[in-house]
Structure 1
Amino acid sequence: MKYFGLITVAMLLMMGCGGNSSKIELSDGPRRAEILFLGHESTHHNSEKLMPGLARHLFQKGINLTYTADPDDLNAEKLRLYDGLMIYANHDEITADQEKALKAYVEGGKALIPIHSASFCFRNSDWFVETVGGQFSSHGTGDFTASITDSSHPVMAGISEFETWDETYVHSQLNEDMTVLMERVEGDHREPYTWVREQGKGRIFYTAYGHDERTWNQPEFLKLVTNGVLWAVGEDVAQQVADYDIP
């Protein structure tokens, strides 16, 4: 597991240097939100390159990201240290034990934040595909602006439509039980591009945006992901972050 810059300091202060992880618990008082970021070891959808910039932005908003490229970290002992799991990677399969832990985690009330290629992860898990809300099917590339379809949702607060070069995702197995927030319009076709949904007691925020730094460096994309995280972790954790009163 890898840590970046200030995130390392914040995590060590919260958890205690060299402490026994079995004794670590998330505080009930004012604090930062803790998100586990599952990436991968690949230069395609380069999570190690792109994650630090997002981490710096989220850190200013009271959210810590902790990086791992190891799906074995999807276990109850590890996941309980976090308010949510963000995925930006290409992991083809999930084991039965990993799926069981992740299902209990999300449906028990935690956040799942799949970004871009995460909708093509864990394709052997019907539960994961249903929970994300859809599966990547195909794409082209180009400059486009996704249209906001639900400006009233809290995730879209303060978000403006923005143009970027990205992969033009098309999804299959779309779950009807979702709220679409943005659509990519191509001719007569309107492709859901950012959405939210609930699974059990947990919340899911997904956006198909995010192939490379051309989108990850967009201020509106960073704001969108920030809003998505704070919505997905739920009102109680979001209030803890607000009460933390970041200078």
Structure 2
Amino acid sequence: MKLRLLPAFAVLTLAFAFASADAADAPKPLKVLLITGGCCHDYAKQKDILKEGIEKRANVVVDQIHTDDKSTKPPLPIYGNPDYAKGYDVIIHDECAAGISDQSVVEGVLAPHRAGIPGVNLHCAMHCYRIGNANDPVTDLDAPHAFWFQYLGLQSSGHGPQEPIAVSFLDKEHPISKGLADWTTIKEEHYNNIKILDTAHPLAHGLQKVKVKTKQADGTETVEEKSVDWVDIWTNLYQGKTRVFSTTLGHNNETVASDEYLNLVTRGVLWAAGHLNDDGTPATGYGPGGK
């Protein structure tokens, strides 16, 4: 009986060894830090929409730093801590901190990205950490005024009324946009483009129709429809080494929860981390469930 059981036991032991080896070789989930809070948005819900949506679409674990403070100077614990991103593969900035302009604080937020940790920036992150007048186009990249815009690759200072945005991809062959269809959002904020830096690579632009009122000399008002066309999805190579993905879309919960948005952001995360295939699919081991 013992002689008959030995081969079966040996097979089971060998199978277990192979399974253990496969598990050890399997890619570990990407560690992503999502930062939310501040003015003007429903971050309490959006942080969970993003976490659930990204983790569902990729082999990613999203940790959160969040504050319910709705001021333009939210008390996020990353401020004054240049090591806040230690141990993470990608940082998602989705905070709205338009009132924070202290140079030392801004440089602390940028420290991990200057060291090479990739970044993903959503919506109001484009209007954070502005030193000086955001409407003044960046000219000197070494000046503090340029610090945050240099990281983003695009300078924006504001937006118009909420109206639908027709999103059209400009580079349909980029891994992030490959196979993604153009779409039209619900009523959304459309961020302006003060300047697109040379390091940025536009992926999509948005066309939004807005009504403009003009007061005539006789006191009457005329209303005309105007088309506003801005880049709203792009990549950037920060300081020649750090991958950065950004989109100005994502004001309302319905937009953030849409498949179009979550698919786009997930691809942005994977691309920034270097785990997105040329055809837009996750690299082996980084798809849903580690596939």
Q: Which 10-residue stretch deviates more, 212-221 or 128-137?
A: 128-137
Q: Which residue of 2 is the match for residue 16 of structure 1? A: none
Residue 140 of structure 1 is aligned with which of 156, 161, 165? 161
User: d(CA) in 2 for partners of 1:84 and 1:117?
Assistant: 18
Pair 1:73-2:78 in alignment: yes
Q: CA deviation at 1:100?
A: 3.2
Q: Which residue of 2 is the match for residue 219 of structure 1? A: 259
Summarize deviations over 1:188-233 as a string: whole Å, max 9, x none. 7531110001113211111111011121121111100000010112
Summarize deviations over 1:87-120 as a string: whole Å, max 9, x none. 1221121544443344331132211111011110
SS of 2:286's equivalent in the other structure is helix
Fraction of identical pairs, as percent: 20
Change (3 A) 1:242 1:89: closer
Size of the aligned set, in residue pairs, is: 219
Pair 1:83-2:89 in alignment: yes
Residue 64 of structure 1 is aligned with which of 50, 61, 66? 61
Amino acid at match of 2:181: S
Amino acid at match of 2:34: F
State the TM-score, normalized to the length of structure 2.
0.67
Q: Which 10-residue stretch deviates more, 86-95 or 143-152?
A: 86-95
Residue 118 of structure 1 is aligned with which of 114, 125, 139? 125
RMSD: 2.7
Q: Which residue of 2 is the match for residue 104 of structure 1? A: 111
Q: CA deviation at 1:175?
A: 1.6
Q: Which residue of 2 is the match for residue 191 of structure 1? A: 230
Pair 1:167-2:163 in alignment: no
Q: CA deviation at 1:181?
A: 0.5
* Residues 164 and 214, structure 1, Cα contact 8 Å, conserved in 2: no
Tell me which structure has the larger Cα radius of gyration. Answer: 2
State the TM-score, normalized to the length of structure 1.
0.78
Structure 2 residue runs of 5 or longer lacking an equivalent are 1-23, 67-74, 132-144, 209-225, 277-281
SS of 2:250's equivalent in the other structure is coil
Change (3 A) 1:129 1:71: farther
User: d(CA) in 2 for partners of 1:242 and 1:50?
Assistant: 23
Q: Which residue of 1 is the match for residue 286 of structure 2? A: 242
Q: CA deviation at 1:241?
A: 4.8
User: d(CA) in 2 for partners of 1:110 and 1:150?
Assistant: 25
Summarize deviations over 1:127-173 as a string: whole Å, max 9, x none. 11221122232222112221110011111123111111211221223
User: d(CA) in 2 for partners of 1:111 and 1:131?
Assistant: 10
SS of 1:170's equivalent in the other structure is coil
User: d(CA) in 2 for partners of 1:52 and 1:59?
Assistant: 11
Q: Which residue of 2 is the match for residue 36 of structure 1? A: 33
User: d(CA) in 2 for partners of 1:177 and 1:222?
Assistant: 25
Pair 1:130-2:150 in alignment: yes
User: d(CA) in 2 for partners of 1:136 and 1:65?
Assistant: 29
Structure 1 residue runs of 5 or longer lacking an equivalent are 1-26
